[in-house]
Amino acid sequence: MVSWYFKEILLKLGVDEERIEIMSAKGGFSEDEFEGIRYLRFKDSVKKLRRGTVVFSQNDIVLGFPHIRRVVQLENGVQRVFKNKPFYVEEKIDGYNVRVVKVNDKILAITRGGFICPFTTERIDDFINVDFFKDYPNLILCGEMAGPESPYLVEGPPYVKEDIQFFLFDIQEKRTGKSLTVEERLKLAEEYGIPHVEVFGKYSIKQIKELHELVERLAEERREGIVMKSPDMKKVVKYVSPYSNINDIKIGSRLFFDLPYGYFMQRIKRLAFYLAEKRIKGEEFEEYAKALGIALLQPFVESIWDVANGEEIAETFIVRVKKIETAYKMVSHFERLGLNIHIEDIEELNNGYWRITFRRVYDDATKEIRELWNGHAFVD
Amino acid sequence: MVSWYFKEILLKLGVDEERIEIMSAKGGFSEDEFEGIRYLRFKDSVKKLRRGTVVFSQNDIVLGFPHIRRVVQLENGVQRVFKNKPFYVEEKIDGYNVRVVKVNDKILAITRGGFICPFTTERIDDFINVDFFKDYPNLILCGEMAGPESPYLVEGPPYVKEDIQFFLFDIQEKRTGKSLTVEERLKLAEEYGIPHVEVFGKYSIKQIKELHELVERLAEERREGIVMKSPDMKKVVKYVSPYSNINDIKIGSRLFFDLPYGYFMQRIKRLAFYLAEKRIKGEEFEEYAKALGIALLQPFVESIWDVANGEEIAETFIVRVKKIETAYKMVSHFERLGLNIHIEDIEELNNGYWRITFRRVYDDATKEIRELWNGHAFVD
């Protein structure tokens, strides 16, 4: 059951008692504490309080980050969503989503799922100018954390050469979740020197050729894709590059049995629509087909060989932290998420930071491959 | 609710009243009639009465055809299932499963789902010597119907050049579902001239090299795979060729949105285990990867182009029947299965038969592609 403290807040927000009880019974809430700050996390949506919402107090409410809609046919998608109106095109970066917010004089980084991330929170002043929150305590900086040394992903964008960086892409109000306009956001980012995702400019359906060329260039540069936004932020849609679809499959296929089928099938679908829209044929088509086949099979087959040789399916993550304690807090966080993850190595860097190496073992995927390799006969 | 007639039979079979009611409530039974013969069809399993079971009377009970277990690592699978004991290796043919049985002096062909197939039943004496049932009214001939002119599949094995054929692979007793031994079955097939799936001989784990070579040969000949059976039929497992996995994906990818994700992912899994077991690398590996990529993308992209050009996703089936009436019965049968299928063409052949062309339209797949092509923005 939700404690009286949060229950009062929910009631004031207009969530009725019955709804609170139903959500509690389904395990839709979790109450937690981070360095003395208590918070209620929403695992499911309740009315406008989206999954990932975090409630600290009556005034400190961080709504769950909204799902961005996707189009798979760029030209028709742009036409349908924006008509003839202009829209900003910004880079979609492959990282993890954080909402950075000030609560009780502490600056916290909240993950998409509504957890306070011990790693991102500890490092936050390395990534952004926190003076921003002195002037705007009521705003939330929404951004992507991306780089080769990330606690959640094994890869980052090609231009982040080491460690990890923050890239702003939205500023929202506490409680309402209302976004500032693109222009307001860009102005604040510049004023405070907050790193921002690359803005490719303003486009409209008339520049569809240039937009296609931009996607081509991003694909060549091994970048994920674009997010298109009406200046008032009321319409936001994403479109990913063919590079990203194939690369995601390559990263995922080593973990074939740990991922839902949809992970792979959605990306195959997006690639197929890209090939159809661009009317790609002949040799170029075959190149894409081969790249897809290799992405699906090569890491997967290698993982089968590894298990056949007695190894486990595992991934290694590296992060840099200020205090070793933060690494242990990350382990607790991962354990709470049900992951089998542990610290492999701790190394002191000469700037006083520590480099921590984590190893995540995929037990179910390992077991599944082992069983099948050992000749298990099954009904499918 | 089940009628009193079938209810009495079920009670005598030891299914208790409560179970019958629960099954009925869930829609687990359907009662039907075919040319004056009433039957109860099991959509779900009840005790030993497997899904696809058909009850005609106390003595005429045809159990659902059992699921054959699959291995994806041939050597270890053979070792684990058969130890050092010999087993028969028979061809696994890509067609549709029928159980042929005599009930009230009528010979009926029952599909895997427990429907009496009007087409197969009408044509049954073209496929098998029905004298068999004079001598063995208590036995069921289980076989695969396969060929280029099939009401359920668009392709057949390469060696069936026209029409469709029956291939025996099991003989079971009514009521118990008990299989004859392989030797008994082969003897009866020979005696009555009933066409049988190809028997490649007896193997044991010692001949694993030859078994691998057999699978290679079948793949080259564009054949589906093998079923391995202990002589007493107590252990039966299947293994498919890499050709079959890729070809199934090729056939399925045109219907991408009509098939469950598992259809594709299971076949990718089987192919990956084949490549891992055979330690296929380098150029040969790349050839498989390319073939997989093309199988996934080419028919799918073509289907997107078709829909973009205003066409529907559809398949065409051809069958030969003795009476046009049978074609109409097939349409009713398809409608009952919820398919959008209709007769496109009826042509009289010079042997008195009719060639019927059916067109099956995949409405949901067409609609899904049309929406995405038209730029629909969605949350995934």
Q: A180-193, pLDDT tens digit by residue?
A: 999 999 999 999 99
Give the distance, in angstroms, between the CA of residue A201 and the centroid of all CA atoms in the same chain.
23
Which of B71, B75, B297 is closest, CB to CB, to A288?
B297
Which of A79, A271, A380 is closest, CB to CB, to B266?
A380
Which of B77, B262, B374 is closest, CB to CB, to A377?
B77
Q: What is the pLDDT of residue A254?
A: 95
Q: A52-93, pLDDT tens digit by residue?
A: 999 999 889 999 999 999 999 999 999 999 999 999 999 999
Indicate yes or no: CB of A374 within 8 angstroms of CB of B300.
Answer: no
> How many angstroms separate the CA of residue B304 from the nearest CA in chain A?
7
Indicate yes or no: CB of A80 within 8 angstroms of CB of B273.
Answer: no
Class assignment of domain A69-240? Answer: alpha beta
Q: Does B303 score more than 90 pLDDT?
A: yes
Amino acid at the residue A66 = P
Q: What is the pLDDT of residue B63?
A: 96
Is ipTM beyond 0.85? yes
Chain A contact set for B305 (CB, 8 A): 276
Chain A contact set for B276 (CB, 8 A): 301, 304-305, 308, 373
Indicate yes or no: CB of B76 within 8 angstroms of CB of A373.
Answer: yes
CA separation for the pair B184, B166 (Å, rounded): 19
* Length, in residues, of chain A: 380
DSSP H helices in chain B: 4-12, 17-25, 74-82, 118-127, 132-135, 182-192, 208-220, 242-253, 261-277, 282-308, 324-336, 363-373
Using DSSP's 3-state secondary structure scheme, residue B9 falls into helix
Indicate yes or no: CB of A297 within 8 angstroms of CB of B271.
Answer: yes
Q: Which of A227, A269, A371 to mutate to test the interface with B (most CBs of B within 10 A)?
A: A269
Q: What is the pLDDT of residue A380?
A: 87
Chain A contact set for B205 (CB, 8 A): none
Indicate yes or no: CB of B375 within 8 angstroms of CB of A308.
Answer: no
Which of B70, B80, B293 is closest, CB to CB, to A374?
B80
Query: What confidence category does residue B364 fall into, taking pLDDT thresholds of 50, 70 and 90?
Result: very high
Which of A265, A294, A378 is closest, CB to CB, to B70?
A378
Amino acid at the residue B21 = E
For B171, which DSSP code? E
Q: Which of A45, A256, A270, A296 to mutate to test the interface with B (most CBs of B within 10 A)?
A: A296
The ranges assigned to domains in chain B are 4-58, 69-240, 243-308, 314-361
Indicate yes or no: CB of B272 within 8 angstroms of CB of A304.
Answer: yes
CATH 3.30.70.3360 fits B314-361, yes or no: yes
From residue B11, give the alpha-carbon distance in Å to each of B2, B5, B6, B87: 12, 10, 9, 39
Q: What is the pLDDT of residue B378?
A: 97
Chain B contact set for A372 (CB, 8 A): 72-73, 269, 273
CA separation for the pair A99, A88 (Å, rounded): 21
- Assess contact for A55 and A38: CB atoms under 8 A: no
Chain A contact set for B373 (CB, 8 A): 73, 76, 273, 276
Indicate yes or no: CB of A305 within 8 angstroms of CB of B276.
Answer: yes
Of the candidate ranges A8-17, A140-149, A271-280, A366-375, the one whose mean pLDDT is the lowest = A8-17
Q: A264-275, pLDDT tens digit by residue?
A: 999 999 999 999
Residue B306: count of CB within 10 angstroms of its CB: 17
Q: B118-138, pLDDT tens digit by residue?
A: 999 999 999 999 999 999 999
Return all residues near B29 (Cβ < 8 A) that are at least 6 apart. Answer: B2, B6, B23, B40, B41, B42, B43
The stretch B362-380 carries a mean pLDDT of: 97
Q: What is the pLDDT of residue B281?
A: 97
Report the candidate in B265, B249, B235 with the shortest Cα–Cα distance to residue B227.
B235
The stretch B290-316 carries a mean pLDDT of: 98
Percent of chain B with pLDDT over 70: 100
The stretch B5-30 carries a mean pLDDT of: 91
Report the candidate in B102, B138, B152, B145 with the shortest Cα–Cα distance to residue B123.
B145
CA separation for the pair A53, A42 (Å, rounded): 5
Beta partners for A237? Answer: A69, A228
Indicate yes or no: CB of A374 within 8 angstroms of CB of B265.
Answer: no
Q: B212-234, pLDDT tens digit by residue?
A: 999 999 999 999 999 999 999 99
CA separation for the pair B123, B323 (Å, rounded): 10
CATH 3.10.450.740 fits B4-58, yes or no: yes
Q: What is the pLDDT of residue B48?
A: 85
Chain A contact set for B261 (CB, 8 A): 261-262, 264-265
Work out the mean pLDDT of chain B and round it to a whole number.
Answer: 96
> How many angstroms separate the CA of residue B30 from the nearest CA in chain A?
25
CA separation for the pair A284, A304 (Å, rounded): 30
> How many angstroms separate the CA of residue B271 from the nearest CA in chain A?
8
CATH 3.40.50.300 fits A243-308, yes or no: no
Q: What is the pLDDT of residue B1?
A: 73
- Assess contact for B249 and B243: CB atoms under 8 A: no
Which of A76, A301, A373 is closest, CB to CB, to B275?
A301
CA separation for the pair B159, B198 (Å, rounded): 12
Predicted model pTM: 0.95
- The label of the residue with tokens 């480099």 reads A355
> How many angstroms separate the CA of residue B122 from the nearest CA in chain A?
32
Q: What is the pLDDT of residue A243?
A: 97
CA separation for the pair B38, B241 (Å, rounded): 40
Query: What confidence category does residue B380 fall into, taking pLDDT thresholds of 50, 70 and 90?
Result: confident
Instruction: Quote the longest CA-to-CA distance of chain B.
Output: 66
Per-residue b or e along A344-362, where b marks 16 or more CB atoms closer than 10 Å to that residue's CB: eeeeeeeeebbbbebebeb
Chain B contact set for A276 (CB, 8 A): 301, 304-305, 308, 373
Percent of chain B with pLDDT over 90: 93
> How many angstroms separate the CA of residue B106 from the nearest CA in chain A?
33
Show the 3-state SS of chain A: CCCHHHHHHHHHCCCCHHHHHHHHHCCCEEEEEECCEEEEEECCCECCECCCCEECCCCCEECCCCCCEECCCHHHHHHHHHCCCCEEEEEECCCEEEEEEEECCEEEEEECCCCECHHHHHHHHHHCCCHHHHHCCCEEEEEEEECCCCCCCCCCCCCCCCCCEEEEEEEEECCCCCECCHHHHHHHHHHHCCCECCEEEEECHHHHHHHHHHHHHHHHCCCCEEEEECCCCCCEEEEECHHHHHHHHHHHHCCHHHCCHHHHHHHHHHHHHHHHHCCCCHHHHHHHHHHHHHHHHHHHHHHHHHHHCCCCCEEEEEEEECCHHHHHHHHHHHHHCCCEEEEEEEEECCCCCEEEEEEEECHHHHHHHHHHHCCCCECC
- Assess contact for A111 and A309: CB atoms under 8 A: no
CA separation for the pair B54, A152 (Å, rounded): 53
Q: What is the pLDDT of residue B263?
A: 97
* Length, in residues, of chain B: 380
Q: Which of A67, A68, A72 to mutate to test the interface with B (most CBs of B within 10 A)?
A: A72
CA separation for the pair B149, B100 (Å, rounded): 19
CB pairs under 8 A between A and B: 169
Rg (alpha carbons) of chain A, rounded to whole number: 22
Indicate yes or no: CB of B297 within 8 angstroms of CB of A286.
Answer: no
Q: B69-86, pLDDT tens digit by residue?
A: 999 999 999 999 999 999
CA separation for the pair B140, B60 (Å, rounded): 10
Report the candidate in B124, B142, B135, B136 with the shortest Cα–Cα distance to residue B179.
B142
Return all residues near A323 (Cβ < 8 A) that are at least 6 apart. Answer: A122, A354
Chain A contact set for B372 (CB, 8 A): 72-73, 269, 273
